[in-house]
Homo-oligomer: A and B are copies of this chain.
Amino acid sequence: VDAEAAEAARAHDSQLTKPPGALGRLEDLAVWYRGWRGGERSEINAPQIIVFAGNHGVAARGVSAFPAAVTEQMVLNFQRGGAAINQIARVNGATLDVVPLALDEPTQDFTKAPAMEEAEFVEALRAGWDAVSETADLLVVGEMGIANTTSAAALACALLGGEAAVWVGRGTGVDDDGLALKTQVIAEGVALHRDSGDGLEILRHLGGRELAAMAGAMARARHLRIPVILDGFICCAAALCLERTAAGALDHAVAGHLSAEGGHGRLLEALDKAPLLSLNLRLGEASGAGLAIGVLKAALACHAGMATFAEAGVSDG
């Protein structure tokens, strides 16, 4: 982070025509953003949203309310502009890229084997890394993958401990029997893989291609100094794998929202991030973080566009 740019941003903010602190979190967002981007004040003009899609071996265990075929069906829906994230991207002036990852080859069922071989895992990480636009000035990553809340809950459970029941949620809406089965599947996977290594190794064993790709994209954004808005439970599980591999790896990210998926609040606590929005979403596909783009755009628009007390001839108290 560019401490000088952040300091300059804080000093500039104190001159703007408002009582000190009156823009609350918008002020902190602007300072944080400028610290990562460095250089001159500017608005956010080129936000990029990437939705990665993958299929999961554990889907065959019946852990989701929807069949695995829905992953590919939804990819087509994204490509034709019919999903929620298409509308949210449009309203917020963001580009949307959709990256399906070997949908015909689900990962292995992690209750029996590592979800991905090393080569598969590296390929997925690289797909994420390569998907980030060098000209983006803000990145949001999201996912589509039937059964991926099972994978995310297993990652959280393996990295943060606690019973599987603490981390499991209803995802797209499983019933009570489905929830019990899902909890069992998570517990089996965690028991098998929890000691397999660092955050990235845990991601390879219990994650999925779309989760690995999200991690790769977030790492690339760090390299390019592109600030990131984290989405919900699944995105944050991928983020946690990075954070546990290299502390501070998510300093260039803010939490877009608190989702309705039960474990998300605890994941955000583990990441030490306070959510910008809390609208009871549980859709994934970057929808919550996509909504938060508007808040961040407004924060930077105020920071870059407001007059100072001196410019406006306003008494500063």
**CB within 8 Å of B: which residues of A?**
16-26, 65-67, 69-70, 73-74, 76-77, 80-84, 86-88, 90-92, 172-173, 260, 276-283, 287, 290-291, 294-295, 297-298, 301-302, 304-307, 311-315, 317
Contacts and interface: CB of A to CB of B under 8 A. Distances in A.
Give the number of copies in the complex.
2
Contacts of A16: 84
Contact of A314 (B26, B70, B280, B281): B70
A317 B173 contact: yes
B84 A294 contact: no
A171 to B, nearest CB: 8
A88 B312 contact: no
Given A19-B172, A19-B283, 19 more contacts: A19-B66, A21-B173, A22-B173, A22-B282, A22-B283, A70-B314, A73-B312, A73-B315, A80-B307, A82-B307, A86-B305, A86-B306, A88-B298, A88-B301, A88-B302, A90-B305, A91-B298, A277-B295, A290-B298
Nearest to A303: B87
A88 B291 CA distance: 15
A305 B295 CA distance: 22
A277 B257 CA distance: 11
Contacts of A276: 279
Given A21-B173, A90-B301, A294-B294, A315 B69 contact: yes
The 5 closest A-B pairs by CB, nearest first: A82-B307, A24-B280, A294-B294, A87-B301, A22-B283
B92 A294 contact: yes
Contacts of A172: 19, 22, 317
Nearest to A86: B305
B82 A279 contact: no
Contacts of A304: 87
B84 A279 contact: no
Nearest to A173: B19
A314 to B, nearest CB: 4
